């Protein structure tokens, strides 16, 4: 059986982020089995999370329309010998992720739009790494009683 539309969208987002590993802009992409910080985040590691969706009341008759939030935690852990400001590294990985996510805002025709939302910076309590959470919302719809259908 094919995956529901939402899972297909999540897989599309993960695959898009995987392309950043191939290009060298990221070191890894993980869609974790459980939520939380990776045990030892590596420099340029990306972690994809999916939050709870919100029902969008603007759906046409006979359809359900959703706003599905996704978040990509982008870890920056420069070496002690690095002379690049950590903010520069954070800005660069954030820009790479946002650009990649917007390359196909319809997620291969599965969604109506992917919108970048406000980012959130973070720092480990022990200062071992810094990073930024890139937030995005995917607007998608399906036939009212069939979350496996495309709109």
CB 56 within 8 A of CB 139: yes
111: in domain: yes
pTM of the model: 0.91
118, two tokens: 């406000």
Mean pLDDT of all residues in the chain? 91
What CATH number is associated with residue 117? 3.30.2000.30
31, two tokens: 């869609």
128: in domain: yes
86: in domain: yes
148: in domain: no
Beta bridge partners of 45: 28
pLDDT tens for residues 58-88? 889 999 999 999 999 999 987 777 778 889 9
Q: Rounded to whole angstroms, what are the CA distances from 1 to 4, 48, 147, 150? A: 9, 24, 13, 15
151: in domain: no
Report how many domains make up the chain.
1
149: in domain: no
pLDDT tens for residues 88-109? 999 999 999 999 999 999 999 9
69 lies in which domain range? 5-143
36: in domain: yes
User: How many CB atoms neighbour CB 95 within 10 A?
Assistant: 12
Question: Sorting pLDDT into bands at 50, 70 and 90, what band is 120?
Answer: very high
């Amino acid at each position: 059986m094919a995956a529901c539309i939402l899972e297909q969208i999540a897989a599309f987002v993960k695959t898009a982020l995987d392309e950043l590993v191939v290009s060298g802009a990221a070191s890894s992409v993980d869609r974790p089995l459980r939520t939380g910080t990776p045990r030892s985040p590596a420099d340029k590691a990306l972690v994809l999370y999916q939050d709870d969706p919100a029902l969008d009341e603007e759906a046409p008759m006979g359809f359900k329309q959703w706003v599905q939030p996704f978040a990509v935690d982008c870890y920056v852990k420069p070496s002690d010998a690095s002379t690049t400001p950590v903010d520069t590294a954070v800005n660069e990985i954030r820009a790479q992720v946002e650009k990649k996510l917007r390359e196909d805002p319809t997620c291969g025709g599965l969604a109506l739009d992917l919108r970048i939302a406000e980012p959130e910076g973070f720092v480990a309590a022990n200062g071992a790494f810094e990073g930024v959470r890139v937030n995005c919302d995917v607007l998608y719809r399906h036939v009212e009683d069939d979350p496996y259908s495309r709109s």
